[in-house]
Every structure is written in C-alpha cells, then in structure tokens.
Structure 1
Amino acid sequence: MKKYLFLFTFLLTTLFCFSQEITTSVKGVVINSADDTPLESVNIVNLNEVIGTATNSKGEFEIKAKPNDTLHFSYLGFKSIKVRVTNDWIKFGSSKIELTEVALALEEIVINQLKLTGYLEVDIKQVPINNNYRYSISGLPGTGYEASSPTAITRVLGSIFNPADFLNRMFGKKPNEMRKLKKMKQDDEIRNLLASRFDREMLTALLQVDRVDLDEIVSQCNYSKGFIQTANDLQILDAISECYEEYKLLSRGRTNRL
C-alpha cells in the first residue's frame, strides 16, 4: 500500500512540476538607462521558445519563459540586449531592464533630380528600371524564384539541383533553427514585429546567423538585390521559409530517384 501511495505522490509531483514549467512566465519593466523613463513598444522575443511581445505604455511586459531561456530586447534608437532568465527572476517577480540609447549615424544621401522636358517619350527614358524577374518551375508550389536578370535562370537551376546547395550547408546541421523558422511563421506577435522591421536584427538573433550569412541565404535562394535591400524582415522570413520548403521537396525527389 505504501508503495502505491509513494508512486501516486511521485506522479502528482511530476505532473505539477511539468505543468508549472509550461506555464512559467516572467514580468518586468523596460526603462531608459539615462533618465529611468519607461519605454513603450519595446520588442521582446524569447529566442528559445520563439514567442514575442511588446511593452505597454508603462514599459511593462510579461512573456512565457523558463529558466535559462534568453530574452532579446530591441527598440529603435537603443542598443539591443539579451537577458538570461534565472530562477530568482521567476521566483521573486518583476525585474527592471535598462536599455542604452545609441547615436544614429545617417549616411549621406545623394538625390539626382530628373530634368524633365515635358515630352513623355524623352522623360520616360530617364526613369531607372529595376530589372527584377520572377521564374516559376513546373511542378513546384509557390510563386517561383526571383532573379536580377534573365541570365540568372542558370543560377536558379544550378542551385536547385546541386545536392550541396547553400541552404543545406547553412541549416542541414541545424534542424533546431528550421523548427524555429516554422514557429516564427505561426506566431502572430512575431510576424507583427517582423513586419515593421527592416534591420534584420531579430531574424539574425532567432536564426543564430550573422547579417552577411542571412543576406547570402536569400541571395542563394535567387532573390534579387533589390528585394533584399527593400524587403521588411517578415518578407525575408517568408522568402527563406518558401525556399527551404522547396529545397526539402527537391531533396526528397533526389532521394526517391536513388
């Protein structure tokens, strides 16, 4: 009888601890380190769980997290930071997070004014043309591949049918990063955050790659330089995800033929 009682108690304790771990969350307030004023709409992402939130008008936030998770804090004009979640933070409640303002250096912008003549046939030739093309391949889902010129067709085919393509080299040994990619697409808060950003900072933090590698991934997926330069972070996320799904489809096709 004592054995059964002990087993029952052990199971209840295990279930309770498991449920506590799932529902654990941390609270805090984000402030400006210079004057202690609260910062509203600070982007906060749990890099382990791939969930996000933002601070309210009082700088307050709450996000699901467990011990050793890493939270990424970012705000326009301030230096982004990563904070590790500790047992003490969870146990004792709210924590104060300070962000430091950084100086923004604007690059010189040169605007070439168009000298219009009033004649459409003459003026239309002064307008720069962005020669981006989009190619679709029969049998593949999605909208196809974007390239900067017609000669890129060979690059498209070469990257697709090359067994050691760039996506495989980048993510073949990082399945966790691709699982994060799927979670990012499913989390509405993350998508909303990415849709308003163009700095790639949150993407590089979530996918654990640097900016150069991120641009190279999109480039190797045959998206044009114009797209890479102008797309927001959500569009970059969707581009990588679409490319990876097509890569997996083609990889299964190669395996089946062998």
Structure 2
Amino acid sequence: MYPFMKKITFLIVILITTLSWSQDNVAINGKVLNDADDAPLENVNIVNLNRVVGTTTSKEGDFEIRAAVNDTLYFSYLGFKSIRVRVTNDWLKFGEIKIKMTELGIALEEVVVRPVQLTGYVEVDARIIPIYDNYRYRIAGLNTGYEGGSSQPGAVNKVLNAIFNPADFLYNVFGKRPKQMKKLRQMKEDDAIRNLLQTKFDRETLMAVLQLERVDIDEILNKCSYSSDFINTANDLQILDAISECYEEYKVLNRDRG
C-alpha cells in the first residue's frame, strides 16, 4: 500500500509542477493602438517586468509575449505616455486584447549651467554640481583643484569619494534590491530587450525593470566613476552594461570584505 501511495503522490507532484510550468509559459497576444484615432502603432516596446522578456509590435500593432497571470507588461513608445498593464485571467481566457496609448506633448526645458565652488558638505554639493559642462572644482580646506568633465572622467566624484564612503550609497541601491539586481543578467541575455535598449536614450525601461529613479541611475554611474559625458550621451544598452559591471565589482568587493 505504501509504495502505491508513494507513486500516486509522486504523480500528483509531477502534475502540479507541469501545470505550474505551463501557466508560467503562456504566449499571450494583443494589439496596440493610438488612443486618438485607433491607428495601429508599430515598433512599440513591450517588456514583461516580472520575467524580463521583451518584444515589439508589428506593422499592424500586433504583439505576442510570454506571461502569466498578475505579470506586469510595460509599454513604451516615443512621443507616447508609457503605461503598465497587468495580465489577468480574462486576457488568458479570451485571447487578444487592445491596448491604447496616449500621445504626449514634449517640451524641452532650458538648462542653465555655471561654475561652482564645492563647500565640502555632500548634502549641499550633490545639489549644485553641474553635469553638463567641464569646470575645475575646489573643496574648501583642500589645497588642490580637480578637473571635471570628459577630460578627467569622475574626477569630482573621486574627490568626494575620498572624503565620503560611496559604499553606503551602493549598498542602499544594490544590497537592498537583490531581486531587481538579478534582473540585470536577464535583461542582458534577452536579445529583444538588448535590441530595444540599444535604440533608447530615455532610461524609462531600465527604471521600470530595476525599480530605480533616473537620479539613482545617474548616481550609481557617478559612484562607479563614469563621466558626465558618458552618462548624458550613452544609450540605454550601454547604461545597462555599465550598471551591470558596477554591480559585479560591488559583489566582488563585498565578498572580499566578508
């Protein structure tokens, strides 16, 4: 009797595992339209934030992506408001659904830059250091100046790092977001997401997947000694690779300390 029950239990486990695996690997379909006129939108970027897989819409606005119930899909398209859509049981049951995106008016803000003298108080200096120009900086109480900009990448940041330990900031970003940081590798391994990021410069997809603000992304790269020129001009794929490299170095340093 016992061997028989054992076989039954084993079969039940196999069945549950198979059903769960199937549910996690369902291809769902949809169509993306312009909310203003119902015209199909081609090449809309779509990322499953839970499973870190991506795709784009066809000329007719159609798309297919693997997802499970309660996964969140992130839709982004130049000139349109990005949206998040949760996958529901109804979507899986009834098949294709229509997603409508709204156009945005893009206004460029004027940026004013000026040379500054650092105070030596990180709370103050973090707010006044310009990131769009190359200047020479001085910190009160120190005898030397430091070049900023592309000629000396990360020079100002390196000076501040000599006074303030950047490990605390990196721990707050990396150490407290283990699930998000694990998605870095998944993003790099998904060809659709890599192709998507290579054409983008707005950081929106990175922010959505990693659950970071743009200022956090910039600060990570600053702390890892990337220049302002790189931060401002790199595409999202280059930014992903830079953050990933920084994270790998962070893990090595923490392992050595342990």
Residues 1:12 and 1:250: Cα distance change in structure 2 (over 3 Å): closer
Q: What displacement does 1:158 show?
A: 6.4
1:26 counterpart SS class = strand
Cα contact 1:156–1:222 (8 A) shared by 2? no
Aligned equivalent of 2:150: 132
1:82 counterpart SS class = strand
Equivalent position to 1:218, from 221, 224, 243: 221
Where does the alignment leave 5 or more consecutive residues of structure 2 unmatched? 113-133, 136-147
Q: Is 1:25 aligned with 2:27?
A: yes
2:33 counterpart SS class = strand
Q: What displacement does 1:235 show?
A: 1.2
- Quick one: which amino acid aligns to residue 249 of structure 1? V
Q: Is 1:247 aligned with 2:250?
A: yes
Q: What displacement does 1:164 show?
A: 3.7
Equivalent position to 2:197, from 191, 194, 199: 194
2:249 counterpart SS class = helix
Segment drifting more, 16-25 vs 182-191: 16-25
Q: Is 1:165 aligned with 2:183?
A: no
- Quick one: which amino acid aligns to residue 234 of structure 1? L
Aligned equivalent of 1:61: 63
TM-score when scaled to structure 1? 0.77
- Quick one: which amino acid aligns to residue 41 of structure 2? L
**Which deviations, in whole Å up to 9, do the C-alpha atoms of 1:210-230 show, x marking residues without a partner?**
112221221122212221111
- Quick one: which amino acid aligns to residue 72 of structure 1? Y
How far apart are the structure 2 equivalents of 1:8 and 1:167? Answer: 45
**Which deviations, in whole Å up to 9, do the C-alpha atoms of 1:182-214 show, x marking residues without a partner?**
111111111111111111111110110111222
1:180 counterpart SS class = helix
Q: What displacement does 1:156 show?
A: 5.5
Residues 1:133 and 1:188: Cα distance change in structure 2 (over 3 Å): farther
Aligned equivalent of 2:43: 41
How far apart are the structure 2 equivalents of 1:9 and 1:19? Answer: 15
Q: Is 1:205 aligned with 2:208?
A: yes
Aligned equivalent of 2:81: 79
How many residue pairs get aligned? The number is 223
Where does the alignment leave 5 or more consecutive residues of structure 1 unmatched? 111-127, 135-145
TM-score when scaled to structure 2? 0.77
How far apart are the structure 2 equivalents of 1:163 and 1:105? Answer: 35
Aligned equivalent of 1:174: 177
How far apart are the structure 1 equivalents of 2:201 and 2:250? Answer: 25
What is the aligned-residue identity percentage?
55
Residues 1:27 and 1:171: Cα distance change in structure 2 (over 3 Å): same
1:30 counterpart SS class = strand
How far apart are the structure 2 equivalents of 1:168 and 1:5? Answer: 48
How far apart are the structure 2 equivalents of 1:12 and 1:235? Answer: 42
